[in-house]
Amino acid sequence: MKDIFVPRRMWRPRGELKRRYDVVVVGGGSHGLATAYYLAQRHGVKDVCILEKSYIGSGASGRNTTIIRANYRTPEGAEFYGQSVRLYEKLSQKLGFNLMFSQRGHLTLAHSDRALVTMQERAEVNKLLGVNSSVIGPAEIEALCPQLDVSERPTWPIMGALYHPPGGIIRHDAVVWAFARAADELGVDIHPYTEVTGFERANGRVTAVETNRGRVECGQVVSATAGWSTLIAGMAGLRLPITTHILQAFVTEPLKPFLDVVIVSSQLHVYVSQTDRGEFLIGAEIEPYTTYCGTGTLSFLEISARHSIELFPQLERAKVLRTWTGLCDLSPDYSPILGRTEVDNFHVSSGWGTYGFKAAPIVGVTLAELVATGKTPDLIAPFALERFHTDTLVSELAAAAVSH
């Protein structure tokens, strides 16, 4: 509370790059910052720096649609994201910064009986792993969200939903800043506007990182660079099973509270929530083609607007205020690629597609443990890059190759 009356710096001003760090984290987003924080906080590894080519949180951490949930399809996924949600629940208190985690409930709508089966499967997996989720019918949906059009009028009437009460939204920037502040306090050096341009390698290891501000020797390297993962890994001599796509979203002008839950419709490729500021935040499916070009598309706006109004006709005259795009690193099975690689001291957090932000704290905890102890935690063992070489995928995709 005293911070209210006396302004206090969140983090030290950017200093000079040291000649060497024990751990160099590439990427100043939620994953990189969380990893650095837990390295220092849990393992006492404080000789850590973060290299961020722009400002902290400038990538996916600050461009996602802030949804947190754990109702995944695979047991591996549900368990992993379940732990992440539990960490998020206490993170405001732990970091002393209000992340405004609003566990208002998350509803994934089904517009076909096939979709309902997929949800049933998720609900059953979730329950076994202690993740609160269940399939509910239109009457219960209406009770939770009376504003939703549950009639037969829409082209795709709502048949049911997967209800996930602990799911919700959070203030995404706050997560970045809180981790940054806490990491900085523990001595982690944060270097914004410091772009990695290459790696020096010897004996199958990365020995130094080259940046636009000079060279840094390193003990270990963590790459948490989402859409740019392929490029960073490429500098270390690694090829990844990743393609980069844009994901787009928009907000409306602020409106008084109207929608109290998070609504997702996979079939309509749209998800809708209302921020605490009152804006409706609406996002879509990723664009099908790979690109690093962050220009949005008009058709995204048109389709998302149409589908949002299908769900909420009341939004017809609400106004779109701002649209933006972010880069997503899509893996073949929609599960992350986390942990060790064939380059001995080069670790990755990648392959998140559109799910990365939900995993920030648990990525921090597990990657920090791996880097500090050299042992891969059980929780992330299934997400090793190696699975693509052995062809043992962890598929978050429900449908067959050709979706039904």
Partner 1 sequence: MSFYLPCPYCGPRPVDEYAYFGEVTHRPGPSPSMRELTDYVYFRDNVAGVQREWWQHRLGCGEWFLADRDTRTNEVLDVLLPSPERVREERLGSPPVGAEPMASEVT
Partner 2 sequence: MRLPAQTGERIDRSTELSFRLGPWDVSGYAGDTIGSALFAGGRRVFSRSFKYHRPRGLLCCAGHCPNCLMTVDGVPNVRVCVEPLREGAVVEPQNVLGKLDFDLLRVVDKVGGPFTPVGFYYRTMIRPRRMWPLYEKFLRNVAGLGKLDEHAGHTRRYDVEHKKARVLVVGGGRAGRAAALEAASQGPGVVLVDESDRLLRSELAGVEVLAPARALGIWEGNLVPVDCGTVLYRFRAERVVVATGTIEQPLVFPGNDLVGTMFPRAVRRLIRDFSLQPGQRAVVLATDERGLEAADDLGEAGVAVERVVDLRESPLRRIEAQARAGRVRGVLLDDDVVECDLLVASGGRQPAYSLLAQAGGLVEFDPDLGVLVPTEHPPGVEAVGSVTGEGLEKVDPLPSYHGRGKCFVCVCEDVTTKDVKRAITEGFDSIELAKRYTTVTMGPCQGKLCQLPSVRLYAQERRVYETDIGSTTARPPWAPVELGLLAGRHLEPTRRTSLHFRHEETGARMMWAGPWRRPYAYSDYPEQEVRAVHESLGVIDVSTLGKLLVEGPEAAALLERLYPNRFGDMKPGRIRYGVLTTDGGRIMDDGTVARLSDDLYYVTTTSTGSDAVTAWFEWWNAVWGYDADIVNVTGALAALNLAGPRAREALERLTEDDVSAEALKYLDAREVEVVGVPCLTLRIGFVGELGYELHFPSPAGEHVWDRLVAEGAVPFGLEPQRVLRLEKGHVIVGQDTDSESNLLSAGMSWLPKLDKDDFVGKSAVELFAEREERELLVGFRMEENVVPPEGAQVVIEGYPAGRVTSARRSDEVGAIIGLAWVPSDRAEDGTRFEIRVERQLRGARVTHGAFFDPAGERMRS
Instruction: Decide which of partner 1, partner 2, none touches 292; Cβ closer than 5 to 8 Å per partner kind.
Output: partner 1
**Could you say which residues in the range 278-297 bind partner 1, by CB under 8 A?**
283-286, 288-293, 295-297
Site membership for partner 1, residue 143 (CB under 8 A): no
Asked if 231 interacts with partner 2 (CB under 8 A), we say no
Q: In this chain, which stretch among 218-226, 233-241, 253-261, 352-360 interacts with partner 2, using CB under 8 A?
A: 253-261
> Are 149 and 111 spatial neighbours (Cβ–Cβ below 8 Å)?
no
Closest to partner 1 by CB, 284 or 338: 284
Residue of 21, 189, 310, 368 that binds partner 2 (CB under 8 A): 310
What distance in Å separates the CA atoms of residue 319 and residue 185, rounded to the nearest whole number?
42
Do 199 and 221 form a contact (C-beta atoms < 8 A)? yes
Name the minimum Å distance from CB 207 to partner 2: 31
Q: Choose the binding region for partner 1 from 185-193, 226-234, 250-258, 368-376 (rule: CB under 8 A).
A: 226-234
If one asks whether residue 165 binds partner 1 (CB under 8 A), the answer comes out as no
Is residue 401 near partner 2 by the rule CB under 8 A?
Answer: yes
* Residue from the set 18, 128, 342, 374 that interacts with partner 2 by CB under 8 A: 128
Q: Where are the alpha helices (DSSP H) in 27-74?
A: 30-43
> Among candidates 153, 161, 164, 180, which has minimal Cα distance to 97?
180
Say if residues 184 and 12 touch (Cβ distance below 8 Å): yes
Spatial distance between the Cα atoms of 61 and 63, rounded to a whole number of angstroms = 6
Task: Decide: 321 and 280 in contact? Cβ < 8 Å.
Answer: no
- C-beta of residue 332 within 8 angstroms of C-beta of residue 254: no
Under rule CB under 8 A, residue 49 binds partner 2:
no
Contact status: 29 vs partner 1 (CB under 8 A): no
Token pair, residue 24, equals 């160099």
3-state secondary structure 160-189: EEEEECCCEECCHHHHHHHHHHHHHHCCCE
Contacting residues toward partner 1, per CB under 8 A: 64-65, 67, 108, 228, 230-231, 239-245, 247, 264, 266-267, 269, 271, 283-286, 288-293, 295-299, 330, 332, 334, 354-355, 388-391, 396-399, 401-403
